[in-house]
Amino acid sequence: MQNAKDSFYMALRARLATINPARTVLLRGAQRPGILVEEAEAPFSQLPTDVFVLRWLGLGADLDLDSTMVAEECEIIYQTCGTQSFGGLDRGRLLSEMDEELTAMVQPFYTPKLNYVTQPPGTMLTQVFWGEPAFTPVVVQRDRIMRSAKITVYSYQEQGE
């Protein structure tokens, strides 16, 4: 499933860079698109604002098919405090912008599966695909507002995975 998870993340990352090139994050001295995978970063005391954070949850498999299909639920969490110039009063507007960005990032609902262990990444035989995001209600925590969306990501296991 790691190749599918990596491919899903890299597809969303590339799409975000096209949709909103200004949404970036500085991590380990590198400026990059404002999306990250929680399990691949140092632990946070608090999730960063104005960034999409992917958190991988449960895993399942359908073994009754000709090829094993695996599925893993991904929660994408994002939050904002608004901008300082508006005293944070624009936080609802900014959260709505992130809602729209996420909706655009996940379309189309598939991407080629690549193996990122090799450089350049090797193309695999199957695709990674997913369903529509299920958005949660907005949560308010002091000056922050946040939301998450859950998406189930599917992939067929290939030989050697």
Pick the CATH number of 2-156 from 3.40.50, 3.30.2000, 3.10.450, 2.40.50: 3.30.2000
Q: Among the residues of 20-127, which ranges form H helices? A: 91-105
pLDDT in tens, 38-65: 999 988 888 999 999 999 998 888 877 7
What is the reported pLDDT for 66?
79
In terms of Cα–Cα distance, which of 53, 59, 50, 57 is closest to 41?
Answer: 53
* Residue 59, pLDDT score: 87
Q: Domain locations in the chain? A: 2-156
Q: What mean pLDDT, rounded, does the chain reach?
A: 93
Q: What is the pLDDT of residues 77-118, one digit of tens each?
A: 999 998 787 776 788 899 999 999 999 999 999 999 999 998
